[in-house]
């Protein structure tokens, strides 16, 4: 029984240590984006529950095209994406606190900055790539 307990504790510690560190974006920056985010919710008709999952760090890898449209809308209306959907990396970096490993975050952003089929596809693929490959779990 002791061996089983030790095994389970080791397994849990290993799992928890494999998690990405959580980084909370700068609250003042998030507040500035809220009016545009609300506009994008109305414009795209995206499901609010899906957005709530995203906010809490739950992946929303979905085939629903409204999520991609929302991602692009939010980035574009807040000046975080260019017309072609490619990210404004310097502006995105301003959302991260000084305690975050900004060099590692920037590196992943640059690696994820690729052209898609159209601006919506480009913004969404960037967001998906960053979520998957970021050295941190982003929360807001």
- Give residue-wise pLDDT tens across range 26-76: 999 999 999 999 999 999 999 888 887 766 656 655 678 899 999 999 999
Annotation: CATH topology of 27-139: Recoverin; domain 1 (1.10.238)
- Domain parsing of the chain, residue ranges: 27-139
Find the radius of gyration of the CA atoms of the chain.
Answer: 17
Q: Which residue has the tokens 């480009």?
A: 122
Which DSSP state fits 81?
A: B
Inter-residue contact 85 to 77 (CB < 8 Å):
no
DSSP state of 25: P
139 or 82: which leads in pLDDT = 82
User: How big is the chain, counted in residues?
Assistant: 140
Mean pLDDT of the chain: 84
> How many C-alpha atoms does 38 have within 13 Å on its Cβ side?
5
d(CA 76, CA 122): 12
Q: What is the pLDDT of residues 92-107, one digit of tens each?
A: 999 999 999 999 999 9
- What secondary structure letter does DSSP report for 137? E
- Identify the band that residue 138 occupies on the pLDDT scale cut at 50, 70 and 90: confident
Q: pTM of the prediction?
A: 0.80
């Amino acid at each position: 029984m002791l061996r089983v307990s030790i095994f389970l504790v080791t397994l849990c510690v290993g799992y928890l240590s494999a998690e990405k560190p959580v980084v909370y974006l700068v609250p003042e920056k998030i507040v500035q984006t809220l009016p545009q985010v609300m506009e994008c919710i109305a414009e795209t008709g995206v499901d609010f529950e899906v957005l709530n999952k995203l906010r809490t760090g739950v992946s929303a890898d979905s085939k629903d095209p409204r999520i991609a449209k929302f991602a692009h809308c939010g980035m574009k209306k807040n000046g975080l994406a260019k017309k072609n959907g490619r990210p404004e990396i310097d502006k995105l970096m301003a959302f991260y606190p000084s305690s975050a490993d900004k060099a590692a975050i920037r590196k992943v952003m640059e690696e994820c900055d690729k052209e898609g089929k159209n601006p919506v596809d480009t913004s969404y693929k960037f967001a998906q790539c960053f979520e998957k490959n970021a050295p941190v779990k982003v929360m807001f």
